[in-house]
Structure 1
Amino acid sequence: MPSSAQPSVISGSTVLITGAARGMGELYARQAAARGASALVLWDVDKQGAEALAEELRSSATRVQVVSEDLSSLTGVRRGAELIRSQTGVPHVIINNAGIVRGAPFWDHDQERDVSTTININALAPMWLTREFINDMIADASREYRILNIASAAGTLANPGMSVYASSKWALIGWSDSLRLELVKHGHDHVKVTTFCPSYVSTGMFEGARGPLLTPIMTPKYAAKAAWNGMVRGTPIVAKPWTVKLAMALRGVLPTALWDYVADNVFHVYSSMDKFTGHGK
């Protein structure tokens, strides 16, 4: 992943990744170690999986800390952040990658298991975790800092079967890009925020979902590379594939009824979750 900014951003940095034990989170962790990060924090509820990855990455001379506190709880996030601060220090890169999806009509969602947990993990946890460290990042203008928030194309367009998931990602996108603008406005240009909005990625999270017209299911490697490169460069928004931006533009200019027809009958967006199974019940 060539970039002239790469060494100064990653080499010698402490990189914190949530949802780090597998999928795209694992790819970010491996990339950080390969690029010379001095320390990694792997935050995942799957402590065994995170420990196994940590053991492997330690062989690259990178210090690795594992955190398995509950991201859906503010108390858990604060407890995890305190562990990081005391054992590893303030991260230079935060990758808010952890997420869950529940695919069903809204009325079939359980209030606690589906609604609250999805909103807490997908939208609130990135805010809570970033808030724990943002003032330290702002105070140190001697180096570059990065925040990468993994959102979704679902946060840019309404789609049946994704009401709660989509709302969590809409919130994440709104917060993430607003934070970027606040940092710019107040002169904290050394802290850059990137929001990643991918369509479906074949991590198993969206098993059974079908990509809309001209929108292939992306491999984790392809998606993670696009997000990583955008983060290193400080690109504000990274949307993949190109049809994500096309759909956003069409939704913005077409009347709602016409867009609904195009999305449903031409691009087949509205039926993309009809056979969704996810990781299994």
Structure 2
Amino acid sequence: MRLSEEIRHALKEKTFYFLQNKLNGMRGEVNMLDNIHRDISDLGNDWNKILASIPTAPNVSMDSYFIHQTPKVSYTGIQKTSIEFGDVLYLYTETDNKNYKKETALLMQAKLYEDKKVDKDQLILYTDWPTFWFHTQNIHTSRFDVVSTPQPHPGGRYLLLDDSTKNQDFASTVTPTYGLRANKLDNYLESELVGLLEFFNGRELLGDWGTAIKAVEDYVKINGKTFKNTLRGQPLLYALNNGSGSGSGSTPSSNDPKGFWLVHIQVTVPFPD
């Protein structure tokens, strides 16, 4: 989607204030992720209003899924039996009027912003992308070779959440590098999300990367659960041009301490012939 500088700035600003409102004063990684997830439709309402100001505004849908301790992956040489594939996955889809589809994904491992090294096995996955497979059953049986040399690919990044006063932006991101400590940053979550809309961020769903991400998407949809009385799968925003808007709902749930959060963004853009 092509965004003007004005629209791009407005989307980033609304996202920043949404994160500030939901994360300021929160303690703990899981609580911070949960607080974003349960009110994600608030951000959708703001985005909806901004995108509606575009004369040829596209149809937009975004769904958020928060799943308990899954999926997990393994790879040759790993020290543990398995590790989380990530904590947050954003999947963006754009389809033109000739039904040509282009998709990109941003997978992030969440950590609290502090001066300590991150998990070595997780970091190897995100820096080297060795041949990996899903340890969690019923996702996919293949082994995946995701080429990322000479540097870690932009589809896999770290999300740093600050529950102190060190980082006034609350949610920042960083490129995985050897010996990484969770006190560095080179981008912000609001910029990462808005960048997906223009394919500036994330990695396009091609080859083994695309197959793995789509397998996770299918698995998450089929195995939707709830978290602290909030639906694990709920819409952020959708169907911009036909009067629909953001929505949410909740059902009873156990207080599971961990989860995998997937946000699926879909856009249909009426490109000229």
> TM-score of the superposition, structure 1-length normalised?
0.30
- Larger strand proportion of the pair: 2
- Larger helix proportion of the pair: 1
Larger RCO: 1 or 2 (CA < 8 Å, sep 6+): 2
